[in-house]
Structure formats: structure tokens, C-alpha cells
């Protein structure tokens, strides 16, 4: 059966692209959920994906660090 994101990708993408046609869409979803959506650049006004880049290992002093926000416009 494979990943659920692959299973639902076409239906979710069609529905979201149609619903958001002409709008600016900011994707804040985690990678697992974001994988189920393929933006249609012809329909959307603009598309931005936000990735939170964090360290894999906790720092030695265990002080939480602020995640780095990475904006990618497509």
C-alpha cells in the first residue's frame, strides 16, 4: 500500500489547489503531512513552505534553542 501521503496526494492536491485558487498559501505542515500535497503554481497566487530546521541532538547544556525558520517560495 505504501505511504499514506502517496495514497491521498492526488485527491488532497486537487481539492486544496481548487479551494485556494488565486490565494497565497503558506504551508506550515510537518514534512509527513506536507508530502500529501503538490501545489499547482498555475492556480495558486503564491506558495510558501515553512521548514523548521532544528538540531538533531540536544545541546550539551540542555538549554532549548530557537528553531530556525526557513522560507522557500515556489
How many domains are there within the chain?
1
Residue-number span of the structural domain to which 34 is assigned: 4-73
| Signed CA dihedral, 39, 42, 47, 49: sign only | positive
Binning pLDDT at 50, 70 and 90, where does residue 24 land? Answer: very high
Q: What is the pLDDT of residues 30-65, one digit of tens each?
A: 888 888 999 998 999 999 988 776 555 555 555 555
What pTM did the predictor assign? 0.64
Q: Beta-carbon neighbour count of residue 47 at 10 Å?
A: 20
Q: How far apart are CA 20 and CA 45, in angstroms?
A: 8
Amino acid at each position: 500500500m505504501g505511504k499514506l501521503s502517496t495514497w491521498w496526494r492526488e485527491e488532497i492536491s486537487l481539492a486544496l489547489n481548487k479551494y485556494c485558487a488565486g490565494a497565497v498559501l503558506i504551508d506550515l505542515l510537518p514534512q509527513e503531512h506536507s508530502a500529501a500535497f503538490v501545489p499547482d503554481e498555475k492556480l495558486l497566487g503564491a506558495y510558501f513552505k515553512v521548514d523548521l530546521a532544528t538540531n538533531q541532538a540536544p545541546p550539551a547544556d540542555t538549554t532549548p534553542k530557537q528553531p530556525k525558520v526557513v522560507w522557500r517560495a515556489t
